[in-house]
Amino acid sequence: MDKKYIVTISREFGCGAREIARNLASELGVHMYDKDLVDLAAARAGVNTDLFKKTDEIVVNKNFSTLFKEFGYGSTAAFYSDRAIDAQAEVIRDLANKPESCIMFGRCADYVLREYDDTIDFFLYAPESYRVRHIAEGYQLNLTESAKLIKRVDRQRHNYYKYVTGENRGNRYSKTMLLDVEAFGVDGCVEMMKQAIEYIINK
């Protein structure tokens, strides 16, 4: 694909979206910005980088409370400061203005880049039962703990997205395509996203 494009990927917690995003980036041969955005935004905002990193680490064999803190992006006041929000938006736009195509994972990138013409916005989701099993197996939780974690993290991320954008993060009108990960699987989602990107940039 010679034409530049920017893919943004939003998701429900526990549907396996990060694996899909990484596989898509590998298939397309483009860079995926994920934790990179955290580091760059934290540095620009002058916020302790460790504070941002701790909310994004995926650590096995941790208890429920620790996992919630590590997954709960937007769980502290530092995330809601104008300085942090503005810095994150600036970093996203700076990366989007580069000549190379890329994938941006989370961080309200779909909203920040809503006026860009070369963006393709995906939202990945799955039924709760699928997500509960996925998180329970991946992080050695029982099903009750997994369901509780998913509910809390989804609520926290929704609140953060709503605060920054004024919109619901799963709003279909602001997305190019919504995909059910349980229905299509990781490989199926990657393939459908690739085809959608090719269709859009070549039409």
Among 122-131, 155-164, 174-183, the least confident range: 155-164
**Beta-bridge mates of residue 119:** 6
Q: What is the rounded distance in angstroms from the CA atom of residue 199 to the CA atom of residue 157? A: 31
Assign 3-state DSSP to the chain and report helix, strand, coil percentages, each to 5: 60, 10, 30
Is 6-202 a CATH 3.40.50.300 domain? yes
Asked whether residue 68 carries a pLDDT value surpassing 50, the answer given is no
pLDDT at 116: 92
Closest CA to 51 of 24, 74, 32, 33: 74
List alpha helices for 97-127, DSSP H: 109-112
pTM for the full predicted model: 0.82
Range from 20-34, 76-90, 163-177 that averages highest in pLDDT: 20-34
Q: What is the rounded distance in angstroms from the CA atom of residue 64 to the CA atom of residue 150? A: 11
